[in-house]
Amino acid sequence: MQEYVSKSVFNEIIEKVNNGKIAEAEQDCRRSVEQCPSDVNVLGLLGAVLIKQGKLDQAEPFLRKTIALAPSFAKPHEDLGNLLMSVKKTEEAVELFKRAVHLDPSLASAHFSLGKALALTGRGKEADEAYEKSFALSPVRDALAKASQLHQQGKFEEAEKIYRQVLAKEPENVDALRMLAMIAAAANKPDDCERLLRKVISLAPDFALAQLDMGRTLKEQDRFEEAIYHFRKATTLEPGNAQAHFLLGGVLAPAAQTEQAAQAYKDALTHNPNHAAALLGLGHVLKTLGQQEAGIQAYRDCIKLKPENGETYWSLANLKTFSFSEEELNKMIEMVEGKQLEPQSEVNFLFALGKAFEDRKDFDQAWQYYDEGNQKQRALINYDPVLTEVQNDDLLDVYTREFMAEFMGKGNPDASPIFVLGLPRTGSTLIEQILASHSQVEGTSELPYIGRACSSLNRNRADGINYPQAMRELQPENLVALGQLYLDKAKMHRQEGTPYFIDKMPNNFPSAGFIKLILPNAKIIDTRKHPFDACLGNYKQLFAKGQNFTYDLTDIGEYFLQYERLMDHWDTVMPGEILHVQYEDTVMDFENTVRRIFDFCGLPFEEACLNFHETDRAVRTASSEQVRQPIYTGAINRWRYYENHLEELIEVIDIARDRYRQYEEINAEKFSG
């Protein structure tokens, strides 16, 4: 056997590591070790490569063999120390780091790792000494440490100044570039953040943290397909990184890859069984898949790990068909009354308690919790009802009858989208489930891409003209391109290959005119419910994000009036282009309503759609369990249970009540006496 591999072979392996080809590097190392079992350079490199992939059990014997063969070789001592740190064998790691810095006092990274290990074992003075030696050996590391501290304190300008000083000396310092990207992200400058991270990744393709950061910034922009690529890359670079698998699950779920999301969360839990957020995410996707019992178990496992996290309790309440036990109810009350909870966690508990007491038909007590939860949530979010009205004024000013007539029919002719929109909690999930039960239609959940297409008109404008005014400058070819932009983004959510798909984003209702201009053959269905039920339903719902108008009764009432104002305008400027479906009509005259929907969409009637609740598909909204039940009328006029608490709301929207009075007598006997 050879004693050493050739320098060219070793350099080729190093190049593969630097280019992120870690699996190939591992195979080359293994072949080289078979040929040269005593080559400490290859043995040590194989150990390092295995660590990169999270194969710690496999890496350890190679590193120990390297140390045995070359006890004066500092680097494998450092690598083994880092491995032992990751499996919480800190004391043993300390001794290895001490040995590494003794063998090579110039090894700055080993001094730094020794500092971390000593700090974890409570030896603060020794840790400081190790850090100081590391910083003395590496002034750049010292500067980055100071900048990082400033960064964590929120002193972004001071931190940025130091990062740029580092880059003036080392233009390709990936740590400084990455942290500049994080500052750009905090300043809501996604383009700058992305540009910096792409440079980092080009310089260091195997930098897993940068891959994760890139995935995060792309997910924030709803660029799910690209985000998935970078999160997957991170899991390839570091298979044992539980957070990487968790973040992958968090983008696969909204990308409609629900089963893959469940697997990603399970992978995260394999590597870290105590990852509470992964359990919570797993509960969400199991619920979506209709695996309710498994989802409930995941939520309960999460509660065991983090009993003070109110989001998990609200997730159980948000199943709608779940009821808390007395023990669980008392535990929530204890949390709210006796614990110093994080503000958002407290809000979650309050909404969950509202649902728990509502299930027990104690509506006055339920209201107290719902109302307190809303007041606290309103203080945590920003919503300006005046701005909503001004934005709607702009829409009405641009989308006139003349403007619509001039451009109608000139957009992208694709007829595949069916938009279901309106206020949340008005039966849109029911309509989606009915449509998705049809053999020619796929439900894809709430897609963010119409809003993204609108906001794309705001980019690179120095003159301050934004959407909707920017619509006046568009030509037919621009409308076609915007329609195609939407279709391209929606494509990844279409898994079944059906001719039609549903976009159930309720917030698309202000964009109905925009939709018909860029996609003139798309269908638009507006779902409605009696305004008191609709507004109350929103007040009782704690949304994961957005819908900031829902946490104050006056805000909700005024928002409802703005919604009606816009929908009436769309009917005026493009008559017949929107089908309005009243929830009460749907449940009281089900088959005729279904036929009316299919006629509007140009779909042949299918008997199976009347049994929509038997459809085996993922449902990604708060109503996921409700739409797996047959049609029922129990949700009509539920506002009557809370009528004595709704004076503020009724006063605001009483002006709109006449349009819906015919529905107020349904279930009247339930509320008499």
Q: What is the pLDDT of residues 295-312, one digit of tens each?
A: 999 999 999 999 999 999
Which sequence spans correspond to the domains of the chain?
A: 307-380, 410-457+469-671
Q: To which H or E segment does residue 181 belong?
A: helix 174-186
Categorize the per-residue pLDDT at 453 as very low, low, confident or very high, splitting at 50, 70 and 90: very high
The pLDDT of residue 148: 83
554-610 tens-digit pLDDT: 999 999 999 999 999 999 999 999 999 999 999 999 999 999 999 999 999 998 888
Residue 628 has what pLDDT? 44
Task: Assess contact for 346 and 376: CB atoms under 8 A.
Answer: yes
Query: Could you say which of 1.10.10.10, 2.60.40.1240, 3.40.50.300, 3.40.190.10 is the CATH number of the domain covering 410-457+469-671?
Result: 3.40.50.300
Does residue 461 register a pLDDT over 80?
Answer: no
DSSP 417: E
Side-chain half-sphere CA neighbours of 277 within 13 A: 9
pLDDT at 396 over 90: yes
The pLDDT of residue 620 is 44
Q: Which residue, chain included where needed, has tokens 């006029």? A: 637
CA distance 414 to 500: 10
526 has a pLDDT exceeding 90: yes
- Is the pLDDT at 402 greater than 70? The verdict is yes
pLDDT at residue 613 greater than cutoff 50: yes
Per-residue pLDDT of 242-275, as tens digits, reads 999 999 999 999 988 999 999 999 999 999 999 9
User: For 360-388, what is the mean pLDDT?
Assistant: 97
User: Do β-strands 523-528 and 578-582 pair in parallel, antiparallel, or remain unpaired?
Assistant: parallel
Instruction: Go through 531-554 and write b for each residue having 16 or more CB atoms within 10 A of its CB, e for each that does not.
Output: bbbbbbbbbbbbbeeebbbbbbbe
**260/274 Cα distance (integer angstroms):** 21
The percentage of the chain sitting over the pLDDT mark of 90, rounded to a whole number, equals: 71
Where helices occur in 204-257 by DSSP H, the ranges are 208-220, 224-237, 242-252
| Separation CA 244–CA 231 (nearest Å) | 6
576: tokens are 């017949």
Q: Which long-range contacts (CB under 8 A, 24 or more apart) does 291-296 make?
A: 292/319, 292/321, 292/322, 292/625, 295/319, 296/322
Residue 376: pLDDT over 80 = yes
- How confident is the model at residue 629, as a pLDDT? 58
Please determine, for residue 144, whether its predicted confidence score (pLDDT) is greater than 90: no
What is the helix (H) or strand (E) element at residue 81, kind and residue range? helix 74-86
d(CA 452, CA 178): 26
CA–CA dist 576, 609 (Å, integer): 25
What is the pLDDT of the chain when averaged over all its residues? 91
Asked if residue 565 lies in contact with residue 389, where contact means CB atoms within 8 angstroms, the answer is no
pLDDT tens digits, one per residue of 466-525: 999 999 999 999 999 999 999 999 999 998 999 999 999 999 999 999 999 999 999 999
User: Residue 219 corresponds to which tokens in the numbers above?
Assistant: 């997910």
Q: How confident is the model at residue 195 (pLDDT cuts 50, 70, 90)?
A: very high
pLDDT of 462: 65
What would the two tokens of residue 145 be? 């440490």
pLDDT over 70 percentage in the chain: 96
- State mean pLDDT over 70-95: 91
Cβ 314 vs Cβ 352: under 8 Å: yes
CB of 117 closer than 8 Å to CB of 97? yes
* Ranges of H-type helices in 492-603: 512-518, 531-539, 553-573, 583-588, 590-601
pLDDT at 160 over 70: yes
Helix, strand, or coil (residue 460): coil
511's CB contacts (< 8 A; 6+ apart) are 450, 451, 454
CA dihedral for 77, 82, 87, 92, sign (positive or negative)? positive
| pLDDT(618) > 60 | no
Q: Which residues contact 404 (CB under 8 A, 6 or more apart)?
A: 513, 516, 517, 573, 574
Residue 368 has pLDDT above 60, yes or no: yes
